Structure 1
Amino acid sequence: MSDIRRDSARRGIPLRALVPNAVTALALCFGLTGMRFAIGGEWERALGSIIIAAVLDGIDGRIARLLKGETRFGAELDSLSDVIAFGVSPAIILYLWSLQHLPQFGWIFSLAHAVCCALRLARFNANIDAVEQPHKSAGFLTGIPAPGGAALLFLPMYLWLWTGNALFSETWLVAPWAALVAFLMISSLATYSWSALKPRRGIRLEVILVVALLGGALISAPWATLTVVAILYLATIPFSIRGYARVRRLRAAQQDAA
């Protein structure tokens, strides 16, 4: 048995796992690049970098499953990348954009986002091998995911870039919003897992059409589109909570019947 373990250690990461891990590392690079643009005051490029990081984060797991290259190393790398790309970088960007103008307390709100993102991912890693995961088994997430948290955190920036109204950069508006998003990340609220959604066969063409139109809208009017998407995502949370409560009632009824 020891010889087998030594051979496995010598082989290291399987070749099929290199591609998804490289995509994860690329997402990390884009997250850090967002901070670099924010330091220079290039807000649109800063947000664009985080958005690209989120897209890459969304496909690396699917690439790993497609290539059968899922490894524990990849899972750990993905979490570390998420902490930086969707926790640290958005916190710095928001601080440089608005929260630095809130004396003493602005940095605390930025820290809250980064720390809550790290806590969420630590909770995820701690439960990754758990047998009992009620939310996951029902097709839900616990709290909002790290990329979703970063996307929601930037909602005031989307509105500011879209409308040009300086009101949306005011610290009295941005600070409580950052606190709310931080809470949603570490909360126990059931939220929809998009990977668990399976459109019915009869509406798949319509789904493709919506995705194509969404892509076109992101290119032609990115900040207005992202504003609408963020608001719609927030609107799904009450429905996901109600949906999970219904699942819990059905499970309880089945247990009573058994």
Structure 2
Amino acid sequence: MEPREREQMPFLLLLPNLVTIAGMCLGLTSIRYTMVAQFETAVVLVLLSALIDGMDGLIARRLRATSEFGAELDSLSDFLCFGVAPGLLVYRFALGEVNAMGWVLVLVFAAACCLRLARFNVMRGEDGAGKTHFTGVPAPAGAMLALLPIYLSFSGLLDARGAPMVVAFWLGLVGVLMISRVPTFSPKALRVPRWGVGALLMGTVIGMGMIFTRFWLLMVIVDLIYVAMLLPGVWKVRGRLLR
């Protein structure tokens, strides 16, 4: 085999990395729309990047194209999309009035996201196939929680811009949860009893309907459900959250 032929790589093996790059571009574009105060577009782009983040790993596993390079690229993209972009978005939307304190807590959130991703990379090889929970809030979920004040504002339930300090401390709290020892939900832990199948299907139908009618209210509900799922884990490790 000629050296040139050996250096060629099938396109399908590159596809997961191309998907990751596409998600990174969405995160960067979200920052661009944040800078011009088009907040709804910026939030939607972060949500789309979270959707793509779930796709690239799945595609890599299906194609058997997983690699250390892809894993590192995914973490770098995650930091941009779920650490930097949401932090700037929340700051620009609701924290400008608190100035220094608001920016400090944005930095706390972004740094926590970076630390969480670094810890995940180091512990990646320790994750067993049967692991049923994450340690700390994952970066995409942390971004969705950080955007809760914006969801509340867009849904009309309340205007988060009227309480910038509350929003700032919420952002800091989400950062703490990301680097905490709180056991959080993993899809591998999902077990639905037979009696719950009907309720799950009905909830799916209602959720699909709300996507097209009350999307921001749906996002508020999803965030609140996730927070409720966190509470038992927080109670379990109370007093040693960061150890």
* Shorter-normalised TM range: 0.7 to 0.9
- CA shift for structure 1 position 39: 0.9
2:217 alignment counterpart: 224
Taking the aligned partners of 1:164 and 1:42, their CA distance within structure 2 comes to 20
* Match among 51, 55, 75 for residue 51 of structure 2: 55
Taking the aligned partners of 1:139 and 1:59, their CA distance within structure 2 comes to 20
1:194 alignment counterpart: 187
1:79 alignment counterpart: 75
Pairs within 5 Å for 1:84-99? 84-99=80-95
Deviations for 1:20-39, whole angstroms, at most 9, x for unmatched residues? 11111111111111111111
1:102 matches 2:98: yes
Larger Rg: 1
Of 192-201 and 102-111, deviating more is 192-201
Paired residues of 1:116 and 1:183 also in contact (CA < 8 A)? yes
SS in 1 for 2:112: helix
Taking the aligned partners of 2:50 and 2:44, their CA distance within structure 1 comes to 10
TM-score (norm 2): 0.86
CA 1:103–1:194: 2 relative to 1, 3 Å? same
1:180 alignment counterpart: 173
- CA shift for structure 1 position 201: 7.0
TM-score (norm 1): 0.81
SS in 2 for 1:191: strand
* Match among 30, 33, 44 for residue 34 of structure 1: 30
Deviations for 1:56-80, whole angstroms, at most 9, x for unmatched residues? 1112111111111111111111101
Letter of the aligned partner of 2:226 in structure 1?
Y
Of 18-27 and 193-202, deviating more is 193-202
Pairs within 5 Å for 1:17-166? 17-130=13-126, 133=127, 137-163=130-156, 165-166=158-159
SS in 1 for 2:99: coil
Taking the aligned partners of 2:104 and 2:37, their CA distance within structure 1 comes to 21
Taking the aligned partners of 2:175 and 2:124, their CA distance within structure 1 comes to 22
- CA shift for structure 1 position 215: 2.7
Taking the aligned partners of 2:235 and 2:91, their CA distance within structure 1 comes to 35
CA 1:153–1:124: 2 relative to 1, 3 Å? same
Number of residue pairs the alignment of both structures matches = 235
Taking the aligned partners of 2:53 and 2:188, their CA distance within structure 1 comes to 13
Superposition CA RMSD, Å? 2.6
CA 1:209–1:118: 2 relative to 1, 3 Å? same
- CA shift for structure 1 position 226: 0.2
Taking the aligned partners of 1:62 and 1:38, their CA distance within structure 2 comes to 30
Letter of the aligned partner of 1:66 in structure 2?
R
Taking the aligned partners of 2:223 and 2:183, their CA distance within structure 1 comes to 17
Paired residues of 2:155 and 2:216 also in contact (CA < 8 A)? yes
CA 1:184–1:19: 2 relative to 1, 3 Å? same
* Identity, % of aligned positions: 35
- CA shift for structure 1 position 102: 0.9
Paired residues of 1:160 and 1:169 also in contact (CA < 8 A)? no
Pairs within 5 Å for 1:199-214? 199=192, 207-214=200-207
Consecutive unaligned residues of structure 2, counting only runs of 5 or more, are 238-243
SS in 2 for 1:188: coil
- CA shift for structure 1 position 167: 4.5
Taking the aligned partners of 1:242 and 1:65, their CA distance within structure 2 comes to 35
